[in-house]
Structure 1
Amino acid sequence: MTYQPSENRYGNLNWRQAGTTGLVLPEFAFGLWQKFGEQTPYETQREILLAAFDAGIVHFDNANRYGPPHRAAEKNFGRVLREDLSAWREELVLTTKAGNPIGPSPYHRGGSRKNLLQSLDHSLRDLGTDYVDVFYFHHPDPKVPLDETIGALVTAVQSGKALYVGISNFYDPAEAHRAATLLKDAGVPLALHQSRYSIFDRRLEIDDVLGQSLEDGVGLVTYSPLAQGLLTDKYLTGVPEGARALDSAFLSTDDITDESRARARALNDLALERGQSLAQLALQWVLRRPEVTSALIGASSVAQLQHNLQAPSFAPLTDEELELIDAHGVHGTGLRIR
């Protein structure tokens, strides 16, 4: 059946400006980090991605590393783009990243000009598009001069293969500021900084990356707002069969302790008092910050996606509720972070 998107898709979500650039984005972005490799049936992936577009999400986040195997997520999205969404390419904001390892070769990792630009070419081929809207450097590389990395990002824009550029996981605000300055001096503004942020991961607050981003005019796209599922009702009483913690490189059963469950249950009690789920509370908490342009979410089903997209519809969090969240949302809970 030929796909036709919902005619009401632009009336569902709020939109925010990406820093001081002219790019505006919906408050939710959809990420293909997990569940979009070869382990998930293609038809399931397609159903979720098209439901996201119907709901107003035009911002789809990818990377050469996403799978498994690496590059699989971009190939799968490329098929959806080719078969279903090609007529609406101009409405989409497609992003990709390079820099994290995808193979044993030194040219399949890091911030060198060679790796970044050839990876961008591979991503364009896999996605089946002439350009991406945002090209990110995935992670700082201390072995490569930042000037070289930034020069590659500038070339990506000047070549027409990317409209905007971003950085990811720059938790040192001074380093993030230097990247923004180098790009500004080259005439290519830093549009987005993608970093992890949740009730249980507050590095952006502790190190004042939020303030630095505001000062530099950079929009923040925050990933893992649900802390790999810790900020949902999934692990409140145990680890259910088929849960991500059983086979994930980012969350294990050892990370889910009595202490982390107690904190999540207290937050869940607050959410229930407000008439929402813990996941909706966690998303609303992230989106309360004006520095955040988009919260990056994934989904393993259409129902889960639609549930989470209701988060902004609830009453704003009060000062008293935010204090309670602070009391139970201890930085580092259940996560392998400092």
Structure 2
Amino acid sequence: MDYERQPYRRCGRSGLLLPAVSLGLWHNFGEGKPVDSQRAILHKAFELGITHFDIADRYGPPIGAAESAFGRIFPRSLRDEVVITTKGSNPMWDGPYGKGNSRKHLLATLDRSLTRLGLDYVDIFYLHREDAGTPLEEQVATLDHMVRTGRALYAGVSNFSPEHTAEAARLLRDLGTPLLVHQPPYSLLDRRIEGSLLGVLEQEGVGCVVYSPLAQGLLTDRYLGGIPAGSRAAEGRFLTPDRVTPEVLAFVRSLAELASARGQTVAQLALAWALRDPRITSVLVGASSPEQLEANVGAVDGLEFTDEELAAIDRAAKEAGVEA
């Protein structure tokens, strides 16, 4: 493990440090992906100082496959050197208790996750999304119970509104289990959290680990010449062709020029841009190969932006008509 390769940032007002770039297992760890490739990606992550691995009960396909793959590959000798997370809320099995944020479902799905991961506990358990049908008091009381029973070390939420995030933080604080982290989407093509969520997180002392900082691959050089065969957009996997618009491509071409002047790729610029705000603890990246992961971690070699560069990025977004 190379702890000098990238900086580590404090997660909110907690004592927990996370690497600036973390590995998400949303893609490339389902069945059908070569085990040797999965193992190589994880080993490269260790080499790059990635100590934070983000998973969810539903990641696959099929559901649960990412947790099972990680459980098979992860060397237990490193358990105390890494942060492993998972999430619940998603439809996981048939029947009325197979989804949602009820105490019944969340405790069952976490126990199933621990079995697939081969672990006694996860470091962070997230509520993956809001559940209007379950009182928020029940949801956060379940998070508190998970921490107190040793199933998880910290509590987190994902995809929660600013208002519900603030309320969850207050309820958890009253129970004595602070809300550690929120996980929202954030990228140059999706800046919604700048409106109020980041302010709430700062006020509550909650960390922010963002997903999709590359907008499912749009913020790379892959689509500059159109939609390539085998890409997510071509196959409609989490990225549909209608999102690859002329306006988006014009913006990415402008970013490519700015990135080149900085000695970066488009992806590295996009990741560094997301990390420019000190309220962002870490960015989650996926990887289809060790080489891609290493290239993305290279973003930490150029995290500083001049005011002129930031203004040029904002101007390019406005001119292309993709202001988020």
TM over 0.5: yes
Instruction: Give the corresponding residue for 1:63.
Output: 56
Instruction: Give the corresponding residue for 1:221.
Output: 209
Instruction: Give the corresponding residue for 1:54.
Output: 47
- C-alpha distance 214-296 of structure 1, shift in aligned 2 (>3 A): same
1:79 to 65, 72, 85: 72
- C-alpha distance 324-62 of structure 1, shift in aligned 2 (>3 A): same
1:153-210 CA-to-partner distances (Å, cap 9, x unmatched) read: 011001111000100011x21111000011100000111100100000001112x211
CA contact (8 A) 1:255 1:334 kept: no
Unaligned runs of 5+ residues in structure 2 are none
Q: What is the distance in 2 between the residues matched to 1:247 and 1:42?
A: 22
Shift of 1:334: 8.1
Q: Percent identity?
A: 50
How large is the Cα RMSD of the aligned pairs?
1.6
Deviates more, 1:244-253 or 1:255-264: 244-253
1:117 aligns with 2:107: yes
1:310 aligns with 2:298: yes
2:148 to 155, 158, 161: 158
1:42 aligns with 2:32: no
Q: What is the distance in 2 between the residues matched to 1:256 and 1:319?
A: 29
- C-alpha distance 55-235 of structure 1, shift in aligned 2 (>3 A): same
Q: What is the distance in 1 between the residues matched to 2:148 and 2:126?
A: 15
Aligned residue type for 1:139: R
Unaligned runs of 5+ residues in structure 1 are 1-5
Q: What is the distance in 1 between the residues matched to 2:100 and 2:16?
A: 27
1:145 aligns with 2:132: no
Give the TM-score taking structure 1 as reference length.
Answer: 0.92
Shift of 1:237: 1.3
Aligned residue type for 1:88: L
Q: What is the distance in 1 between the residues matched to 2:213 and 2:20?
A: 13
Instruction: Give the corresponding residue for 2:184.
Output: 195
Shift of 1:319: 0.9
1:25 to 15, 18, 37: 18
CA contact (8 A) 1:200 1:333 kept: no
1:93 aligns with 2:83: yes
2:120 to 130, 135, 140: 130
CA contact (8 A) 1:66 1:73 kept: yes
Shift of 1:271: 0.7
Aligned length: 323
Give the TM-score taking structure 2 as reference length.
Answer: 0.96
Please give the residue correspondences for 1:238-277 in structure 2 after superposition, counting only pairs within 5 Å.
238-277=226-265
2:199 to 182, 187, 211: 211
